[in-house]
Structures are given as C-alpha cells and as structure tokens.
Amino acid sequence: MANEAHAHAETLALREQFDTAEQQKDASTLGMWIFLVTEIMFFGGMFLAYTIYRSTFPAVFALASSSLNVYIGAANTVVLLCSSFTMVLAVRAAQLGQRRAIVIFLILTLILGGIFLGVKAYEWNEKFQEHHIPGPSFHLEGTNEQGHAQLFFSLYFAMTGLHALHMVIGAGLLIFFIFKARQGIYNADYNTPVDLAGLYWHFVDIIWIFLFPLLYLIDRHLGK
Amino acid sequence: MITAAVQEREHYLNASYGIKSWLLTKDHKRIGLLYLATITLFFFLGGAFATLIRIELLTPQGDLVSSETYNKLFTMHGVAMVFFFLIPSIPATLGNFFLPMMIGARDLAFPRINLLSWYLLVVGGLFSLFAMLAGGVDTGWTFYTPYSTTYSNTWVIATAVGIFIAGFSSILTGLNFIVTVHRMRAPGMTWFRMPLFVWSNYATAVIQVLGTPVLAVTLLLVFCERVFHIGIFDPALGGDPVLFQHLFWFYSHPAVYIMVLPAMGVISELVSVYSRKAVFGYGFVAFSSVAIAVLGFLVWGHHLFVSTQSVYAGMVFSFLSYFVAIPSAIKVFNWTATLYKGSISYATPMLYAFGFIGLFTIGGLTGLFVASLGIDVHVTDTYFVIAHFHYIMVGGTIMAYLGGLHYWWPKMTGRMYPEGWAKLSALIIFLGFNLTFFPQFILGYMGMPRRYAAYPPEFQVLHVLSTAGASVLAVGYLMPMIYFIWSLRYGKMAGANPWGATGLEWKTDSPPPLHNFDETPVVTQDAYDYSQVMGEVIEVG
C-alpha cells in the first residue's frame, strides 16, 4: 500500500518538460534561488532609502528609534527564529519521509508566524495611539524636526509592512503545504516543494534579522 | 505522400481547439502567440497616441488638444510602448516561442509560471488601460516625484499598479529563461554551441530579474506616498525627490537593454542565415551581451546630469556610459565582418537587419553625445534625446522585432508571408522612420524642448517633416499586420526549413509538433555551421 502510494506520488510529480526527477529538482531549486535574488533587490530599494536618510539625519533617527519597544521587538525576533527552526525540522521530516512530523512542524511554524504577526499588529496599534503615524497629526516628543522624524516612521511602516506582507504570503504557503502534506504527497524521494517553502520562510526571517537592529537599535549603537 | 503528411500531421495549433485550450495552455509556443496578440494591441494603442501627438505638432500653436491633454498623450504613449510593448516584445513572443526550441527543449522549465506571466501582463495592461480610459495620466512615463506623489490629479495609482503587476510578468519570464538555459539544454548543446539569440535573451533575463524588482519597490513607495501619505520622497519632510530618480533609473536604464539586447540576438541570427556564414567572433558577440547587461547597471546616473547629483558622480557615470559603446560596437563590427565574403540574399528579414545595423549605429553614436556632460546639459529634455532613444527603440528594437517575426513566421504558422509586399513595407518603414526622427535631432539641437504642445514658428518645417514621416511609418506598420493575417490562410505552405538555416528550431516541422521535437535532438555541431552550404544563395520568392 505504502509502496503503491509512493510510486504514484513520483509519477504524479515528474512534469512532462523534464527528463528526470533530478533535473526537475535542480530546476525548481535554481528557480527559487533566483526568485530570492529578486526579493533582495525588491527590499534593496527600501534599504537604500533607509541608509541615505539615516546618514543624513542621524540624531532624529536615533531619537525616533528609541520610541520603539526593544523588548517586544527582541521577543518577536526570538519567536521568528524559533519558527525558522521548526521549518527546518519540517524540511528534515520531509526528507526522511515522516509524514506526520511534516504536518506537525508546519503547523508549529504557522503558529509561531501567527504570533509574530499578532505582536507586530500590537506594536503598530501602539504607534497609532502615540501619534507616530506619518501624516497631519504626527507628533514625536523631544525634537523640532517633525518632518525628519516622519521619514523614519515612513520607512518603519514601509519596511515592516512589506515584511509582514511576506509573512502573510508565507503563512498562506504553509497552509497550502499542510493540506498537501496531510494527503501524504511528500516522501523521501519527493520533497522539493517543502524544501523551497523553507527557503522562502528563512529568507523572510533573514530580512527581519536586518530590520530589527536597523529600526530598533539605532540609539544603542550610538552608545546611549 | 509528404504533402498528405503535412495536411494531417498533428502540430501545436491543431492539437486542441477552443478558447479554453488557448487560455489554459501551458505550451510555450501558444503562450508566445498570446503575447504576440496582446502586445500588438498595445503597439497600435501606443501608436494611436503618437499619431495624435504628431498631428498636434503640425502647427506651432497648441490647437488640436489642450496642454493638459497633450501631457496625457505623451505619458500614455510612453507607458503603452515601454511597459506593454517594448519590454515584453522580443523575449516574451519570439523568445518564448523559440528559446526552448533553439536549445532542444520540450518547453520552458516552468510552463505554468509562463502562463501566469502572460496573465500578469494582461491584468497589468487592464489596469493601465482603465487609467487611460478613465481620464488618463499626465506625469510622463517616468513618474517623477513630487509631481506624481503630491500634485498630479490624474490616474497615477491605477497606472502605477498596472506597471507594478506587469513588472512581475517580466521578472517571471526572466526567471523562467535563466532556469531553462541552465537546466533544459539538449544533450550536446553546450553553452558555446547555443545560438546567439539564446545568449542575448539570457543576458536580458539577468537584467529583468535584477532590475525589475527595484522598479517595483519604487512604484510601491510612490503608491504608499500617494495613498497613505508616508513621505519617502517628499521634500516637505526632508525626503529627496532625486532619490526617486536614482531608484527609477536604476531599473529604467537597464530596461533599455531589456529592449535592445534581444533585438541584437535576432540580428545575429538573421545576418548569419542570410549571408550563409557563421557569425564572425561568436564568443565576442556572446560575451558582449553579458557585458552590456553588467555595464547597463552602472550607468543610470547619466539620466541625472542636470539634477542635484554631484558633478563627480556625473563624471564617473559619463565615463561608464562611454564604456557601453565598446560591447555595442563589437556587435556591429562583428555583424559587418560576418557579411564579408558571404553569399548575401536580400530577403525581407535581412532588409530589416540592415535597417537595424544602420539605425542602431546612429542611435548608439548619438548616445555618446548625450553621455558627455557638456553636450547633455545643452540637449537635456530636448528632441535630440527623443530622437536618440527612438533610433534605439524604434529603429533598433522594432526593426529587429519585425525582422525576427518575418524570419520565424513560416515556423510559427507553417505559411510564408508574401515576399514582395513584405519588402515594400520594410522599405516604407525605413524611409518613414528616418523622415520622422531625423528632423528631431536637428530640432532638439536647435533647442526644441520635449513635452510641449506649442513651439516657436521657426521649428514648424522640421515638425511638418516629422509628422509626414510618421504618416509613412504608420502605413509601413499597418501593412505587415494585414499581410501576416492574410498569409495565415493564403500564404504559401512553408517547409520545415525554408531558409536553409542551421538552428534546431528548423530541424522540426513547421508548425512544430506539440512537444517541439519527435525525439530529443542530440547536438554535435557549433551554431551557424554553414560550411556545407557556403556560396549558395537562398532563393527568395
């Protein structure tokens, strides 16, 4: 029974444009890495804007940065790192053909990702209440440069917003793969999709690893 | 016996019928044709805007349309032509159709993503089309801030969203091509046996993949700035509008090479086939494509010579821009050398190739004018610049696109186009093009600025010449449209290889079978091995 399902999965999996499963796996993996390169360029525009404005207005950026809650941000970073860990475990489970374990670890990853997004929403809500949203009612205590402070928060919302959007897309992918994994499609011979979903998830994680210090820790870098 | 086989043989066009078999197809050949139909529509739409622009400019007064309308016309001409015609033109149609065939593959690596990319272009196109019909957009195709983010009261958001979506179409096509070239080559098809069309599309794909996301994020920021009033580029908050220009041109200069590199690939094929010789200096031509792709990313600052960009940065960008001339000239010299002692036949595609080489050379050399700091200050935002880039994009890309379309038409449809009409239209297009755009060099040098509906009376003669040329050009462009459609039914049947060409795409039937080849080809020779047929001239009928 198991063997039959196994053979069935493999024939289902090889698409007609490929000659071998290996060629298909290579092509898919290369495609995913190229996609991640495009993502780097995509985020790159925002990182460039950040670099320029932070070096132009260092003092007010440090001040604005200090209004963010570092402890919540740090805790959320840990949550996200844990989700990457459970994602790795899911990929490993797929490679070993442990079908139940794949589903469990994907669900855990989804839950941790959900916690991250929940905390992020809480932080944004806080910003709303503190009048840190760029616009006419913006106000940041302790500086005359309200415009420059708004630049910081413009970047904060644009960058964390784009990151959160990627998390939401990642969560959608996870749900899709949980359903697929429950059907028992992935096994020791055919697990590339899980592997690629993992690559995407780690990429989004790495973006956050850069965002956290750049947005939350500016004034600490200045030694205050 | 053979004719009977041709009649009944199953190929990609008759393998299935019905609208669903096209809209849900994963066949790269059919998707190429879907692209062909889509971009033809946008070509004629953009052409309609150009027609209105040229009619307005017949007289010095702004009398046909108001200045506001004129602003919208040149914006929508640019948007339709750049993002929905030129960018997808050669890669998404001819590339989609022939890149897999030329390397002996059954399809691209990701057929479903290929179909998705067509849908993205259509959806993006619909957004932009909606913006055009709802009232238009007037920022210029460059969307410079703060006008686009703060002041313009036109449909900036819908247009930007359209271009954003179409950008992902371009990214996915590029991604698909890169993976296909790396992983799908037939046995024996080494990198240096690949036709130069494949090399140039590969180089293009690299630009699409690295450049387009930067445009996407830039438009996303413009969108956020208009909708949510965040202020990345807003000078009122201390933001820098020139940052927008840097980000925009970081994509949009390399985008010029997205448009012209595939065209150069087509020319390499044509020059070789119609002179019965291997392309001179194959390796140099192949690597010059890669060099253009790389250098193309280092020159965007030459669009900012008159902005607040520092003079020293300007000098570096000027110097690097001159560098692009080297790989470009390598190609032109190598094509010319290929002709030397070749058995040249003057079939329609070859006429287009000759047109390309001459016009691209003029466009490229005037590119050196605008790449030098002093002259650029004089001609910035004048018709000199307009003429320069139309020589590259229309004289270059569209010439090659039409040349390629004629060359591969028998393979795509199984029918020949009418040679006499085609030659006539190639001639009309060449004359019309030069009459339209050459006067614009003089106009620009004399100081005629771009983007104005009215101008001083002393410029009128040159403007009338240009408008007359545009009318001739329009006739030239309508002719292929008509006889290509005519040929679908009445054209002479084409054999598998009417040109006696060497590429793998000619080793299979016309039109090709569903999976391109009856059995996977094994490649044992370099591309363009015409040693057997050297000295023989193709009969053009």
Q: With an 8 Å Cβ cutoff, are B231 and A148 in contact? A: no
DSSP string, B417-462: --HHHHHHHHHHHHHHHHHHHHHHHHHHHHT-BSS-S---GGGHHH
Omega before B511 within 30 of 0, i.e. cis = yes
pLDDT bucket at B442, cuts 50 / 70 / 90: very high
B240 in contact with A, Cβ within 8 Å: yes
Query: pLDDT tens, A23-77?
Result: 999 999 999 999 999 999 999 999 999 999 999 999 999 999 999 999 999 999 9
Task: Look at residue A5 in the predicted model and tell me its pLDDT.
Answer: 47
Percentage of residues of chain B with pLDDT beyond 90: 93
pTM of the model: 0.95
Query: Which residues of chain B lie closer than 8 angstroms to A23, CB-CB?
Result: 183-184
Q: Which two tokens stand for residue A88?
A: 């790795």
Q: Which two tokens stand for residue B155?
A: 């449909």
DSSP string, B183-200: H-PPTT--GGGS-HHHHH
B212 in contact with A, Cβ within 8 Å: yes
Is the distance from CB of B116 to CB of B171 less than 8 angstroms? no
Q: Which two tokens stand for residue B50?
A: 């150009």
B224 in contact with A, Cβ within 8 Å: yes
Task: Look at residue B4 in the predicted model and tell me its pLDDT.
Answer: 47
Superfamily of domain B27-506: Cytochrome c oxidase-like, subunit I domain (1.20.210.10)
**Which region among A42-51, A180-189, B122-131 has the lowest average model confidence (pLDDT)?**
A180-189
Q: Which two tokens stand for residue A197?
A: 């979903």
User: What number of CA atoms fall less than 13 Å from residue A223's CA on the CB side?
Assistant: 0
The label of the residue with tokens 């569209």 reads: B398
SS3 B346: coil
Neighbours of B340 (CB within 10 A): 9
pLDDT bucket at B288, cuts 50 / 70 / 90: very high
Q: What's the rounded mean pLDDT across residues A188-212?
A: 96
A223 pLDDT more than 60: no
Is the distance from CB of B224 to CB of B360 less than 8 angstroms? no
Examine the predicted complex and report whether its ipTM is higher than 0.85.
yes
Mutation target to probe the B interface, by most B beta carbons within 10 A, among A30, A34, A152 is: A34
A31-221 sits in which CATH class?
Answer: mainly alpha
Closest CB from A16, A19, A151 relative to B231: A151
B540 pLDDT more than 80: no
List the domain boundaries for chain B: 27-506
Closest CB from B182, B209, B247 relative to A45: B247
d(CA B432, CA B451): 22
d(CA B293, CA B261): 8
Mutation target to probe the B interface, by most B beta carbons within 10 A, among A38, A55, A57, A192 is: A38
B520 in contact with A, Cβ within 8 Å: yes
Q: How far is A94 from chain B (nearest CA, A)?
A: 23
Give the distance, in angstroms, between the CA of residue B80 and the centroid of all CA atoms in the same chain. Answer: 12
Query: pLDDT tens, B86-102?
Result: 999 999 999 999 999 99
B231 in contact with A, Cβ within 8 Å: yes
Q: Which two tokens stand for residue B314?
A: 């300007």
Neighbours of A223 (CB within 10 A): 5
Q: What's the rounded mean pLDDT across residues B199-206?
A: 98
Would you list which residues of chain A are within 8 Å, Cβ to Cβ, of chain B?
15-17, 19, 23, 26-27, 30-31, 34-35, 37-39, 41-46, 48-49, 52-53, 56-57, 134-135, 145, 147-148, 150-151, 153-155, 157-158, 162
Query: Which residues of chain A lie closer than 8 angstroms to B245, CB-CB?
Result: none
- Burial of residue B182 (number of CB atoms within 10 Å: 0-12, 13-18, 19+): middle
> Which chain B residue has its CA at the smallest distance from A60's CA?
B238
Residue B6 or residue A177, greater confidence? A177
Closest CB from B105, B179, B212 relative to A34: B179
Query: pLDDT tens, B237-253?
Result: 889 999 999 999 999 99
Q: Is the dihedral of CA B447, B146, B50, B476 positive or negative?
A: positive
Q: Which two tokens stand for residue B511?
A: 């039109």
pLDDT bucket at B377, cuts 50 / 70 / 90: very high
Mutation target to probe the A interface, by most A beta carbons within 10 A, among B110, B175, B212 is: B175
Termini Cα distance of chain B: 24
Q: What is the dihedral of CA B347, B352, B357, B363, to 10 degrees?
A: 170
